[in-house]
Amino acid sequence: PQARYQSSISTPKSYKYNGATYPKDTYSNVPSSILDKLDRNLHLMPSHPISILRQIVEDHFSSYQALVPSSAVVSVHQNFDELGFPPDHPGRSLTDSYYLNREYMLRTHTSAHEVESYKKGLNKWLLSADVYRRDEIDSSHYPVFHQMEGTHIWPNTELHTLPQLNAELEKQLADIPIIIEDETTISPTNPYQAHHDPIHAEQITKHLKHSLNSLIFRLFGHHAKAGGEPLRVRWIEAYFPFTTPSYEVEVFWQGEWLELLGCGVVMQKTLDQSGVSDKSGWAFGLGLERLSMVLFSIPDIRLFWTSDSRFLSQFKQGQITTFQPYSKYPPCYKDMSFWLHQTSPTAEEVTDHHGASAAGGRSPLPIVDSKTGTGIKAFHENDYCEIVRDVVGDLIESVTLIDEFTHPKTQRKSKCYRLNYRHMDRNLSNEEVNELQSQVQARVVQEMGIEMR
């Protein structure tokens, strides 16, 4: 049986990538628009902002070994099981992740490489890579982005050196003019691990926070010196299956809190799996695009993928400079209203939860029609957005739900989405946007079983 995201034109029965063949099954949901993005390696492209930032972080953590994994394809085991994601975690869903088949997927986070890196016996390492998630469409979300993972673990026999290391870090942090808000506490919802000596756990947590705060100071020091509004950075409590305590770091940018990274003290189970039960330490995973957008003032995440020299020529390896926007061409809005399939329950819309808590009432496992073996029946915004992206490509700037309605008599649900089109390099004609809009309509009707109003 064919999964729904392959178009009806005859498609190959397997994916071929990096010399390996992955036979397709009912999980297969990687469209060609995503396959085209594999191996673009923006994080390794000289003078690309993603690569500049990677380099600066690597320079900051200069004693950490820098790793680059060879393939974006990992096993489901590596991406989820090994890290203790429960079987019903929503990040595993076909609406959220890209599967080559039941066993292999495009990594959704660089944490997929934690266990193999610990297995190599490395104590301090950084790893940067492209990661893939089915997601909503707006200026800070793109289905391919880049993360950098960093960890520092110590043989337990060396943990007594931590107070000294922390004192040194505190000295370096002393007179830096950025206010970091941190009201996090150790609590039943974010505890130290039972087997850790709480004194050690506290010192590891301190070292984690000091290390990341010092990176933030390094990165944002120039903002502070420029004398503008003081930059606000905050630590908040988080949940990841593979760390506790866990945190996220956010920065206030363009009027909202933007999440830069997740981190925490590595779960002992993860270290046990890696054959290094006698070590303890911390890990973080940061979004390189998010951080680049703030640092370089890049207003739209799609710009990272442009080949326009007006963008690329503005950046130089090793330098954080402010992006000078070149003239933007006007946007073009088109609204699309439709009735959901009569039997479709509306899936709860939860985003950004790949590493995070399993909150939300959404069905976590891929829902496949048991008779036909095809398709998910519930409407999910990520499915809708993916068809939009598949048809429209980077011309889509955002997809926003602007209206929802339940018919009082029939209880039928309808939704109206506003599709905002914009070309980065030229004007769009109304005719070509209409053509794209009607192609999207045809695909969503055919593939999602919804009915236009």
Q: Note the residues at the interface with ligand FA5 (CB under 6 A).
A: 109, 111, 133, 135, 141-142, 145, 147, 149, 240, 243, 259-264, 283-285, 287, 289-290, 352, 354-356
Write phi, then psi, for 84 (nearest 5 degrees).
Answer: 80, 20
CB 264 to ligand FA5: min, Å? 5
In the chain, helix, strand, coil percent, each to 5? 30, 25, 45
Binding letters toward Mg ion, positions 205-244, x by CB under 5 A: ----------------------------------------
User: 92 or 279: whose CB is closer to Mg ion?
Assistant: 92
User: 193 or 344: whose CB is closer to ligand FA5?
Assistant: 193
CA 72 distance to own-chain centroid:
14
Do 89 and 79 form a contact (C-beta atoms < 8 A)?
no
Residue 240: name its binding partner from ligand FA5, Mg ion, none (Cβ under 5 to 8 Å by kind).
ligand FA5
CB 352 to Mg ion: min, Å? 5
Q: What's the count of helices (H) and strands (E) in the chain, helices before strands?
A: 11, 16
* Number of CB atoms found within 10 A of residue 441's CB: 17
Q: Are strands 332-339 and 451-452 parallel, antiparallel or unpaired?
A: antiparallel
Binding letters toward Mg ion, positions 257-296, x by CB under 5 A: -----x----------------------------------
CB 189 to Mg ion: min, Å? 16
CA 171 distance to own-chain centroid:
33
Do 31 and 2 form a contact (C-beta atoms < 8 A)?
no
List the one residue out of 156, 135, 141 whose CA is nearest residue 350: 135
What does 332-391 look like in DSSP terms, one character per residue? EEEEEEEEPPTTPPBPP---S-SSS---SSS--S----TTTS----SB-HHHHHHHHHHH
Residue nearest to ligand FA5 (CB): 287
CB 310 to ligand FA5: min, Å? 23
User: 240 or 417: whose CB is closer to Mg ion?
Assistant: 240
CB 101 to ligand FA5: min, Å? 23
Residues written for the chain: 453
Q: In what order do the strands lie in the sheet with 279-287?
A: 65-67, 124-132, 144-155, 279-287, 256-266, 243-253, 232-237, 179-182
User: 51 or 437: whose CB is closer to ligand FA5?
Assistant: 51
User: 304 or 315: whose CB is closer to ligand FA5?
Assistant: 304
User: 48 or 290: whose CB is closer to Mg ion?
Assistant: 290
Residue 34: name its binding partner from Mg ion, ligand FA5, none (Cβ under 5 to 8 Å by kind).
none
Residue 58: name its binding partner from Mg ion, ligand FA5, none (Cβ under 5 to 8 Å by kind).
none
Residue 137: name its binding partner from ligand FA5, Mg ion, none (Cβ under 5 to 8 Å by kind).
none
- Cis check for the bond before 12: say yes or no (omega within 30 of 0): no
Residue 57: name its binding partner from ligand FA5, Mg ion, none (Cβ under 5 to 8 Å by kind).
none
Q: How many residues bind Mg ion (CB under 5 A)?
A: 1
User: 135 or 386: whose CB is closer to ligand FA5?
Assistant: 135
Residue 142: name its binding partner from ligand FA5, Mg ion, none (Cβ under 5 to 8 Å by kind).
ligand FA5
User: 356 or 450: whose CB is closer to ligand FA5?
Assistant: 356
Residue 69: name its binding partner from Mg ion, ligand FA5, none (Cβ under 5 to 8 Å by kind).
none
CB 285 to Mg ion: min, Å? 9
Question: For the stretch 228-267, what's the b/e string if a residue is b when 16 or more beta carbons lie within 10 angstroms of its beta carbon?
Answer: eeebebbbeebbbbbbbbbbbbbbbbeeeebbbbbbbbbb
CB 219 to Mg ion: min, Å? 19
What does 159-190 look like in DSSP terms, one character per residue? GGGHHHHHHHHHHHHTT---EEEE----BTTB
CB 377 to ligand FA5: min, Å? 25
CA atoms within 13 A on the CB side of 422: 16
CA 88 distance to own-chain centroid:
19
The set of residues, in sequence order, having a beta carbon less than 8 Å from that of 62 and lying 6+ positions away, is none
CB 259 to Mg ion: min, Å? 5
User: 148 or 387: whose CB is closer to ligand FA5?
Assistant: 148
CB 117 to ligand FA5: min, Å? 12
The amino acid sitting at 340 is: L
Residue 147: name its binding partner from ligand FA5, Mg ion, none (Cβ under 5 to 8 Å by kind).
ligand FA5
Write out the residues near Mg ion by the rule CB under 5 A: 262
